Structures are given as structure tokens and as C-alpha cells.
């Protein structure tokens, strides 16, 4: 699995970075989910190696412009590109009105099935491989963080042991691989779970929207393999950051440490910070959580 950062800025785009958007891609299928869609996201998408036809879900954390102003354009361009596969957009209350109004008054439309789902805290979606849930954050408007949990992968079937016990090969092996019970022609009942190796734990990720410090963050990011958290401002500007519903470098790193995250990627940087400032922001994070990395536009991270 990969995360591609299409925009890492907060508030407004700058010459250093675009505003927020993150693509989550499954390595084998190429299927992509998008988290937030700030202004210019579709242009960044074209600059990346991502494939528009593989994008089928978009998750919006909140309705501030730097997280959604790219959404109407992306949805419309998808039609103009001739893509007809369904698209579902998830996000807070008001998302449906925003999208439908933008498309209506601009005379735009989609040639594919578009489903807009307005979610609440505690909402979950399970597609059989991943479970994703929404967690309430602390921001001036309703805002969510998303926790993505991959289901554990079943262990390998011990075919040699089955052979030694006289279990013939056949189509029932697929059922045994799923841990199911199979009745053979001789009447024996074979429980596949008894012949499976240890399961491989699935990966866990937490992608935060904008937030001031909140205890919910520790549950959202508990024991994740990777946590993506905003670090809008440096530690010295804590009062300003928190007053506007944002976190500092040290506060984000503290969440990663206390939640037991394995890695942290910092993003959503104020436009006041130039390239020369980034090493200082990273150093602040690493004083609390050494396994911190900084996102940059079009950077790709393996999960």
C-alpha cells in the first residue's frame, strides 16, 4: 500500500506546496481512495503516477475550502475523461449541498453514478479487505479523522499435512483456505482452520483532519503502523494554532508517542514556512517522536 501526498499545505496554496489531498493506493490492484481534495488536486493527480480510472472513493475530513475546493472540478473532469465507473464521496453534513450546488450553478454534470454519503462520528465502512471508521476531531467546523484497518490475512494452508492425512486435492481446498469446514466423500469432516498457519496482521493507518489537541486522537491512532497528522505551526506558536483548531509539531508528535504509533508523517504546513524551515519543523517533531517524517508534494510513502 502507498500514500501519495498531492498537497501538503494548509489554508492556501503556495509556491512550495499545494493544499491538502492524500491518495491511498492498494499496490496490487491500483485501486485508489482520496482523502480531501483541495484546490488543484486534479492537476497534482496528473503529475503523479496515479491512474484516474482507479479512483472510486473520496473521503472528506471537513468542509473548509483548502480541503474541498478541488472536488467539483475533479468530479466534472472525470466525466469529461469518459470515465463511467461509480464514484462515492463521504464527508460531513453539508457535503451534498456543496457538491450539488457547485455542479448545478456552473452547468456541470457527471456521466457516471455519483453517490454522496454524509457521515457522522462512529460511521464505518467495510469492503471485505479494509474497514474504515470516522472519529470526531476538535476544529471550528465538524471535522473527522479516518482510521483504516486492513483485515488480517489468513495463514497458508498446510497442503503437505492434508496429503499425509489422506485428504485428496480438489475444489474444496479453496474452502479450507478460508478456514471453512468441508465434508469429504468418505464422511470425514475437515476443519480448514486446523490446517492454517498463523494469520498475518493487517496494516492500520490513521489520517487526521485538522484538529487542536483532543483525547480522541489517542483512540484514533492507537497502535497504528502509520499516523498522518497536521503540524500547521511550530511549537512556539501553540496558542495561535490551538485557537484556530490546529496542532503544533510537538503536539502532533506527542499523539504519535502516546498512541503507540509506529511511524508518523507530518503534513498541512502553514504557508509561512519555506523550504529552509522544514528541517527545523522536523527536528521539533523528532525531539518527541524520532520516527517522524515530513510529507512533501508528490512524495510517496510505502505503508
Active-site residue list: 66
67 is in an annotated binding site: yes
Q: Give residue 101's Cα distance to chain centre.
A: 26
2 is in an annotated binding site: no
56 is in an annotated binding site: no
66 is in an annotated binding site: yes
Query: Nearest 10 degrees: CA dihedral of 167, 169, 173, 177?
Result: 70
Q: What is the 3-state secondary structure of the chain?
A: CEEEEEECEECCCCCCCCECEEEEECCCCCCEEEECCCCCHHHHHHHCCCCHHHEEEEECCCCCHHHHCCHHHHHHHHHHCCCCCCEEEEECCCHHHHHHHHHHHCCCCCCCCEEEEECCCCCEEECCCEEEEEEECCCCCCCEEEEEEECCECCCECHHHHHHCCCCCCCHHHHHHCCCEEECCCCCEEEHHHHECCCECCCEEEECCCCCCCCHHHHHCCCCCEEEEECCECHHHHHHHHHCCCCEHHHHHHHHHHHCCCCEEEECEECCCCHHHHHHHHHHHHHHCCCEEECCCCCEEEC
268 is in an annotated binding site: yes
Tell me the C-alpha distance between 253 and 247, whole Å. Answer: 10
Tell me the C-alpha distance between 254 and 61, whole Å. Answer: 21
User: Residues at the annotated binding site?
Assistant: 62, 64, 66-67, 139, 210, 268
What residues are designated binding site for Zn(2+)?
62, 64, 66-67, 139, 210, 268
Amino acid at each position: 500500500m502507498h500514500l501519495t501526498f498531492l498537497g501538503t499545505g494548509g489554508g492556501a496554496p503556495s509556491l512550495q506546496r499545494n493544499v491538502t489531498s492524500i491518495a491511498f493506493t492498494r499496490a496490487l490492484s491500483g485501486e485508489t481512495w482520496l482523502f480531501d481534495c483541495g484546490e488543484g488536486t486534479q492537476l497534482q493527480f496528473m503529475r503523479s503516477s496515479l491512474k484516474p480510472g482507479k479512483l472510486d472513493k473520496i473521503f472528506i475530513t471537513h468542509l473548509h475550502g483548502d480541503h474541498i475546493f478541488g472536488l467539483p472540478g475533479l468530479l466534472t473532469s472525470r466525466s469529461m475523461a469518459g470515465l463511467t465507473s461509480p464514484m462515492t464521496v463521504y464527508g460531513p453534513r453539508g457535503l451534498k449541498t456543496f457538491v450539488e450546488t457547485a455542479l448545478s450553478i456552473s452547468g456541470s454534470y457527471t456521466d457516471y453514478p455519483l453517490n454522496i454519503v454524509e457521515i457522522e462520528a462512529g460511521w464505518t465502512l467495510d469492503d471485505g479487505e479494509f474497514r474504515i471508521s470516522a472519529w470526531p476531531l476538535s476544529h471550528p467546523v465538524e471535522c473527522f479523522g479516518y482510521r483504516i484497518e486492513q483485515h488480517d490475512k489468513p495463514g497458508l494452508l498446510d497442503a503437505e499435512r492434508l496429503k499425509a492425512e489422506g485428504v485428496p486435492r480438489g475444489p474444496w481446498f479453496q474452502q479450507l483456505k478460508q478456514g471453512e469446514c468441508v465434508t469429504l466423500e468418505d464422511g470425514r469432516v475437515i476443519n480448514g482452520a486446523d490446517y492454517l498457519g498463523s494469520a498475518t496482521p493487517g496494516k492500520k493507518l490513521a489520517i487526521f483532519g485538522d484538529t487542536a489537541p483532543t483525547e480522541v486522537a489517542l483512540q484514533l491512532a492507537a497502535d497504528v503502523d502509520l499516523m498522518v497528522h497536521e503540524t500547521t505551526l511550530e511549537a512556539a506558536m501553540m496558542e495561535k494554532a490551538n485557537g484556530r483548531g490546529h496542532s503544533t509539531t510537538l503536539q502532533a508528535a506527542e499523539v504519535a508517542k502516546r498512541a503507540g504509533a509506529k511511524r508518523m508523517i507530518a503534513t498541512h504546513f502553514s504557508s509561512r514556512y519555506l523550504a529552509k524551515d522544514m528541517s527545523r519543523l522536523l527536528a521539533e517533531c523528532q525531539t518527541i517522536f524520532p520516527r517522524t517524517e515530513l510529507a512533501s508534494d508528490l512524495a510517496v510513502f510505502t505503508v
